[in-house]
Amino acid sequence: MKLKSLQISGFKSFADKTTINFEDGITGIVGPNGSGKSNIIEAVRWVMGEQSAKSLRGGKMPDVIFSGSESRQALNRAVVTITFDNTDHFLATDYTEVSVTRKLFRNGDSQYLINQSECRLKDVLNLFMDTGLGRDSFSVISQGRVEEIFNSKPEERRTIIEEVAGILSYKQDKQKAEAELTKTNDYLDRVSDLIAELQSQLDPLEEQSSLAKDYLDQKETFDKLEKTRLVYTIDQLQQQNIKATSDIKDATQLVKQYQDKKTALSADVVHLKQERTELESQKDQCQAELLTVTKRYESLSGQQNLDSEKNKYQQQQLDQLAKTIKTNQAKLDAYQQQKTVLDAEVKKRQAEVTDLKTQLKSLSTRELQRKQKAIQAKIEQLQATYIEKMQAVAQVHNEQVNLKKSYEQDSQQQRHVNADLLKLEDNLNEITEAHKEQQRVVEVNKKQAELSETELKKDLDAYQKLAASQKQSQDSWLDAVRIYQQAKTRLETLSSSEVELRGFYQGVQNVLKRQADFQGLIGVVSDLIEVPDKYTKAIETVLGGQLQHLVTQDDQNARQIIQYLTQHKAGRVTVLPLSRIRPKQIPATVRQTILKQAGVEGVAADLVMTKPNLTLVKQYLLGNILIASDLKQASELSKSLPMRLKIVTLNGEIINPTGSMTGGVNRHQNAGLLTQKQIRADLQKQVTQMQRELTNREALVNDFKERLALAETKGTEQRQLFNKNNDAYKDAKTQLEILENQMQDLQRRITAVRYESGQNESLNRDFSTESERLNKQENQLKAELQDLSDATKDQKKALENLRETQEKGQKVTAQYQEKLTTARVQLAQVKANLASLTDNIDAVVKLLTADQLKQAQLRQNQQTQGSRRHVTQQELAENKSQIERLQKDLNLSKTKLSNLEKELTQKEQDLQRVQELSSVAADDLQAIQIKATHLTEQIDHALGALSEKYQVSFELAQQQSLAISQEQLQTDLKLAKKGLEEIGEVNVGAIEEYQRVSSRYQFLNDQKNDLMTSQKQLLETINEIDAEAATRFKRTFDKISVSFSKVFVRMFGGGKAKLELTDPDHLLTTGVEIKAQPPGKKFQRLSLLSGGERALTAITLLFSILEVNPVPFCILDEVEAAFDDANVTRFADYLRNFRHQTQFVVITHRKGTMVECDVLYGVTMQESGISKMASVSLEDVSRKETQI
């Protein structure tokens, strides 16, 4: 292989595309400093994969892109292509010509291409690996590289030998192997951890998976049966729905019939109520007219009675007046006769007095006569006064007699008036009592009517409320029935599950079914522990399948059970022999510490209850399990525990001793054994409570029905009572008004009689007053008469004295005087009698006149009353006829109203009955509609279940349904459901999870084995690599060391040199020390030589390497710059000697080197900052010179 060409574009100072073709032999590149010669070497290193911008004399990689000059703009990319002639296939590729291209853009993008095909940097590096070529190989030695050789440490210097020995690939393989080993160890650790974790999951998952598979098998059977059941159910429901539709039609027609009847009856009731209202109005009007006419009749009758009484009383008065007039007339006639006699007597007495006066006058003397005359005059005056007083007394006496007679007449009349008044008052009292009694009756009837009306309203309200309450109670009862039936059905289902051992594994079921056959079998764990509600979920979750473990007395009993299950292939069980199991406990010190921490409910074994002889079971199962309040507390508790314990929360989350957590809720999670046990207990309580509630509600419904019937009966009776009381009230009120009219009539009559009695009493009072006055007057007059009598006696005594004087002469005069006085007294007496009689006659005449006037007035009144009585009798007859008519009309109205009430009551009862029937029919219709809706919902639900749960249509389900009877279906379905419930809550995902975990566990085990195999293989590989590398290194080192010693002598012209290993026992890490002894000097290390000697020694080492391991080409960048001319010549000679086996590209300033070059390229900067190439073949030049 040889270097064919180098194409540069935009790399550093090579702005333009520049191509350098390399020939065999030595190619020299010359040019002034700063012209860009070294950029060619750097371009070669860059295209061969150099990644260090610093080694390319830049700060960052985009610095290699032409950055512009005074006359040129910066470029956006740099492209370098190096081409090799690979005819000998030195490079591991089938191509005979290989070009490698590298592109870099200013935005940082880059590309690598091999033969114009894009590739990776790694592909480029692999192309040159172990070929002695590459970016860091001795085939390309840039400026400073020689100094690195002699300035580097021995350990760093060994890389030269390694590159020559071709062990870089081994080192790289070792690094990869070591990296793989590290990764393998890491993977192995991780896989071991994962295997340990999976190992803890596999056992429960295996159990869950087995249970889930059993569940799925039974679920498949159950689903087939369930689909068949759904098909049967849908068929039955559709038939029932058809019947319900027909029933709805019939019920609708029945409701319509009842509705029509109710409408007709309602119309009849309304019509009858209107008619009743009209009849009541007519009755009230008739009663009002009857009352008015009755009042008028009673008034007229009373007036007639009053007029009759008055007429009777007036007739009595007339009769009395006739008697009085007759008596007074007789008195008057007697008085007239007496007056005639007295008139004659007065005349006679006057004649006697006149005669006596004449005789006395003739007898008296003048003086005596004067004295006597004076005395006599006085006496006469006194006598005259006495006579006047006597007349006054007589008059008063006559007045008293007349007054007494009049008083007696008035008293007799007053007695009649009083008798009439008493009679009238008695009648009034009777009527008043009757009125009061009637008022009481009216009030009683009114109160009874009002009370009846109130009671009627109350009864109607109560009936309506009772009807509403009865409906509400019936609805409540129906709700209670539904809840009770649901709870009872669920309880029966769960109880049936309990009887049929649902929820238990198949093996547990088979053992429990033959429990009597196994001696020493105590029972199943779930039945042997009592768990408070608070901890049910925690215990149920943490124990899981352990709840189905069987407990026996000893291991012999356990073996008997397992042998039976094995022989009959009846399932698997776990048995806990009390004689073998040991309690799990937490150390006392740890226990005390744990229980003091926040969130700890306690040790699980302490929170459940068992019989004393089974304490070992709960200690074995729960003795080392803690219950925490929540996951947060459990997590904190797990971190702080001094020992690893399983912790379960009240919500069922679990923290395992390994630190893993289990939690969450399945979407369809069945109740566990403990939960089912608790549910059954709760349902039993609910069913018992609902039974009592149902009994109470049913009794309440029946009570409401009875009360409603009673209320209806009571309402009807109350309405009849109200009508009866209302009629009685109206009749009593009418009778009361009649009594009031009678009372008013009697009160008017009594008032009239009392007025007359008052007049009589007034007259009596006047009589008393007048009688008293007359008595006083008479007494006064008598007193005055006594005084006059005494004065007269005194005068007479004086006159006696005068007479004594004139006894003798005046005896005759005295006698005449005495006679005269007697005559005068008699005359006065007669006159007084006459005056009294005259007064009596005047009084009798006055009385007679008054009586006659009164008699005439009474007769006129009788005529008027007779005429009025005739009119009244006619009006009474008319009123009586009208009353009889109105009474007939009223009785007819009452009869019609009573009949109407009966008809209305009957209609209302019919309406009520029809309403009840309509309500019942409506309720039945509603119930049927609800049933139809429920059936439709059930059908939809069943169809939905088929569609959603089984993804099949009804028709397809019919085709897939099993050909078995419903009884067999129910039995099989029950058994299948029992089987599912026996299995209980399962994690179906556990199958896949178990497979996944098992596969992963197996995979990880395989991985572990593979990793362990890989680990072993990698260790073996590393050992092999180390051995091969050490062998190659030692072999190459020995060759290079021998070659180095030889080449050194040639290069220095004598002396000696050698390569030494710093640690020969460890060939993989040993360093390489260079020792040299130039001619004339002692043997010493490279670092102690001069600069030129070190450089030449380094070049000697390079040439030694080329002898041992020739490379196709070698690029040297001013490596001989520090040589003197003699060493340059030796250097050039050596290049010339190797030109046939190695192609050299030399960048140099030394003429000795240039002379040996076959081709020279000149690098110039004709344009500032831009490098240009010029080439010349020295052989051609030499040939031309020879020809010349």
The whole-number pLDDT of residue 113 equals 95
CA distance 908 to 723: 15
Going by pLDDT thresholds of 50, 70 and 90, the confidence category of residue 287 is confident
Going by pLDDT thresholds of 50, 70 and 90, the confidence category of residue 673 is low
User: Where do we find the tokens 């979920």?
Assistant: 537
Residue 1037 lies inside a defined structural domain of this protein? no
CA distance 177 to 1028: 14
Nearest of 721, 746, 734, 717 to residue 441 by alpha carbon: 734
Structure-block tokens of residue 1029: 């590398």
Residue, of 401 and 246, whose pLDDT is higher:
246
Percent of the chain topping pLDDT 90: 6
According to the annotation, is 34 in a ligand binding site? Answer: yes
Mean pLDDT of 607-634: 88
Cα distances from 421 to residues 311, 318, 574, 1076, in angstroms, run 15, 19, 124, 187
- Per-residue pLDDT tens over the stretch 526-583: 888 888 888 888 888 888 888 889 999 988 888 888 888 888 878 888 899 988 888 8
Cβ–Cβ under 8 Å, residues 496 and 731: no
Mean pLDDT of 366-381: 67
- C-alpha count within 13 angstroms, C-beta hemisphere, residue 1099: 29
According to the annotation, is 32 in a ligand binding site? Answer: yes
Residue 1129 lies inside a defined structural domain of this protein? yes
Range of the domain at 574: 504-671
Mean pLDDT of 595-620: 87
The whole-number pLDDT of residue 1182 equals 46
Residue 216's CB is within 10 A of a number of other CB atoms, namely 15
CA distance 677 to 661: 27
Nearest of 973, 882, 898 to residue 280 by alpha carbon: 898
Cβ–Cβ under 8 Å, residues 554 and 534: no
Residue 765 lies inside a defined structural domain of this protein? no
- Per-residue pLDDT tens over the stretch 1057-1087: 888 888 888 888 898 888 888 887 887 777 7
The whole-number pLDDT of residue 56 equals 82
Cα distances from 1061 to residues 134, 153, 1032, 1048, in angstroms, run 26, 12, 14, 18
User: Where do we find the tokens 């080439």?
Assistant: 1175
Out of 155-159, 525-529, 752-756, which region has the weakest mean confidence (pLDDT)?
752-756
Nearest of 740, 758, 863 to residue 302 by alpha carbon: 740
Structure-block tokens of residue 294: 């009755």
- Per-residue pLDDT tens over the stretch 28-50: 999 888 888 888 888 988 998 88
The whole-number pLDDT of residue 1116 equals 87
Helix, strand, coil shares of the chain, percent, nearest 5, are: 75, 10, 15
Mean pLDDT of 434-459: 76
Collapsing DSSP to helix, strand or coil, 523 comes out as: strand
Mean pLDDT of 769-795: 73
Domain boundary among 647, 671, 695: 671
CA distance 265 to 678: 58
CA distance 858 to 850: 12
Which range scores top for mean pLDDT: 78-82, 272-276, 763-767, 1098-1102?
A: 78-82
Residue 1015 lies inside a defined structural domain of this protein? no
Residue 431 lies inside a defined structural domain of this protein? no
The whole-number pLDDT of residue 1175 equals 64
CATH number at residue 1163: 3.40.50.300
Phi, psi of 1164 (to 5 degrees): -130, 165
The whole-number pLDDT of residue 1186 equals 43
Out of 498-507, 848-857, 1173-1182, which region has the weakest mean confidence (pLDDT)?
1173-1182
Report if pTM > 0.75: no
The whole-number pLDDT of residue 668 equals 44
Mean pLDDT of 5-26: 90
37 sits in which H/E element: helix 37-47
According to the annotation, is 33 in a ligand binding site? Answer: yes
Residue, of 1105 and 382, whose pLDDT is higher:
1105
- How many structural domains compose the chain? 2
CA distance 568 to 255: 66
Residue 247 lies inside a defined structural domain of this protein? no
Pairing of strands 2-9, 18-21: antiparallel
447 sits in which H/E element: helix 366-499
pLDDT exceeds 70 at position 1036:
yes
Phi-psi region of 1118 (alpha: psi -120 to 50; beta: other; left: phi over 0): left
According to the annotation, is 38 in a ligand binding site? Answer: yes
CATH number at residue 579: 1.20.1060.20
Going by pLDDT thresholds of 50, 70 and 90, the confidence category of residue 488 is low
Domain boundary among 671, 688, 714: 671
CA distance 994 to 992: 5
Residue 123 lies inside a defined structural domain of this protein? yes
Mean pLDDT of 935-950: 74
Phi-psi region of 569 (alpha: psi -120 to 50; beta: other; left: phi over 0): left
Chain centre distance of CA 257 = 43
Cβ–Cβ under 8 Å, residues 216 and 889: no
- Per-residue pLDDT tens over the stretch 223-252: 777 778 777 878 887 888 888 888 888 888
The whole-number pLDDT of residue 813 equals 65
Domain boundary among 671, 704, 728: 671
Which range scores top for mean pLDDT: 473-482, 593-602, 903-912?
A: 593-602
- C-alpha count within 13 angstroms, C-beta hemisphere, residue 1073: 12
Residue 96 lies inside a defined structural domain of this protein? yes
Angle of CA points 1144, 1150, 1153, to nearest 5°: 35
Nearest of 397, 466, 391, 1040 to residue 700 by alpha carbon: 466
- Per-residue pLDDT tens over the stretch 170-218: 777 788 888 888 888 887 888 787 777 777 677 677 777 777 777 777 7
Collapsing DSSP to helix, strand or coil, 549 comes out as: coil
Structure-block tokens of residue 575: 């048995």
Q: What is the mean pLDDT of the chain?
A: 78
Chain centre distance of CA 448 = 52
The whole-number pLDDT of residue 736 equals 73
**Bridge partners (DSSP) listed for residue 550:** 524, 575
- Per-residue pLDDT tens over the stretch 865-875: 777 777 877 87
